[in-house]
Amino acid sequence: MLKHLVSKRHIARRCYSTAKQHPKSEFHIQPKLDFTQLAENASIIEKNMVDRNYDKIDMTLFAQLNQQRLNLYKHLVSLKTKRNDLSSATRATSVKEERNELIHQGKQVKQDIKLCEEQLNQTETQLLEQGLMIPNNTHQNSPIGSEEMARIIKVVGTPIDAKGKKDHVAIATGLNMLDLEQAAIASGSSFYYLQGMGAFLELALIQYAMHKAASRGFLGVLTPDIVRTQMAYGCGFQPRRGESSQIYDIATKSSADTGLCLAGTAEIPLAGKFATKLLNEQDLPQKVVGFGHAFRTEAGGRGLETKGLYRVHQFSKVELFAVTTPDQSEEMMEEIRSLQEDMFTELGLCFRILDMPTEELGASAFRKYDMEAWMPGRAKWGEISSTSNCTDYQSRRLSIRYRPKYQTAKNTQFCHTLNGTAIAVPRVIIAILETFQQDNGSVRVPKVLRRWIPGEPEYFHPPSK
């Protein structure tokens, strides 16, 4: 599961060995976890894993391994000091017997150093494999428990009566916007064609979200849809033990494992845009808005919400992403939430904002807000957006650092990363069609979208028969 984050060939690059290293044969970012900090907070981490319903890591063993690492490192430093002292003494002496004895001792110390380096690298490999399975810390205000424990922060608008309302599939079919049957032939189940005004509605939502984010200082980015699997895992999208992967891995005829996958969200390539970067504090925060396609296997989830556009294998998505200092991240989370709230308000949707509980945070989120729109055709709330503060979880795995403006004990520090969905196109289309449906089969078009739709229509009308 962690092979794209931990490579034993690369772990030695940390590197305590003075031996010649293998040349780089593949790209790899070495995760930088603070083993001592994790060991010192073992009891807190164990409780956090229980709260998140995560498979527990033996933190007692982890702390023992970390102490072993510290002892080995101390011993290695002592051995290298001894080697240097012997080397100096060997050069200084002119007595043959004494010189031979020093050379003999030097050879023995060299062997001891090699053995100690091997033990140290092996110990760090074990620590890293365990450490990468530890989820992020949790905000003190996050509710504890499962999805049902989510705390409602705010409700915008009033849910309209669902009685007599059509669902989005019936509405879109009547408007000739959606073709599920031919998509199933072309690509398989849970794919779709948007056509006619459905295609333009998607493009309008993308344009609206990109422009709205740009007006708030976000840099527009068109992202690649293929990413290194290490990027996906570094963002926290590796499956838990015993779970099926949601990632489409890419294989070729010549290689079953290319180390590449289809992006599950534009968050992954946007994080990759900052991977290995060393930024200046005065240049933070940095904010980007990216458009890309999201690909999800939906393994284990195909028995739920299979009808129409709610749960599909591929969809268009506009994603917000920010890189900040630790002091800026909580304020940035509220800024992203405010932008999302403004967009859904301008679209005229009824929605609510939830502070998500521990079991819904995934691996990377320190805190997470979800936004759910009322979908009268489904007669229930449906998630259309989320915002997560991942603190330094992703930056430690992708080496995203900054240089403090004023000198500190550490020359560089890890950034905080945040992400939020601006528009998940299919879910928002569902909310628009079901919210603004008319008795005659037409759908009123939100005013903010009309400028990007041919003819700037006030309504989508069923085609003339």
Flag whether 315 is marked binding: yes
Flag whether 215 is marked binding: no
Flag whether 298 is marked binding: yes
Instruction: Please report, in angstroms and rounded to a whole number, the separation of the first and last CA atoms in the chain.
Output: 55
Nearest-5° Cα angle at 296, 211 to 172: 65
Flag whether 437 is marked binding: no
Flag whether 18 is marked binding: no
Flag whether 265 is marked binding: yes
Angle formed by the axes of helices 96-131 and 59-92, nearest 10°? 160
Residue 188 backbone class (left: φ over 0; alpha: ψ -120 to 50; beta: rest): left
The Cα–Cα gap between 436 and 144 comes to 36
427 and 343 in contact (C-beta within 8 Å)?
A: no
Flag whether 296 is marked binding: yes
The Cα–Cα gap between 54 and 63 comes to 19
Flag whether 341 is marked binding: no
Flag whether 314 is marked binding: yes
Cis peptide before 404 (omega within 30 of 0): no
Question: Exposure of 74 by Cβ count < 10 A (0-12 exposed, 13-18 middle, 19+ buried)?
Answer: exposed
Flag whether 129 is marked binding: no
Flag whether 386 is marked binding: yes
> Residues forming the annotated binding site?
265, 296-298, 312-315, 319, 383-386, 419
> Residues forming the annotated binding site for ATP?
296-298, 312-315, 383-386
> Residues forming the annotated binding site for L-serine?
265, 296, 319, 419
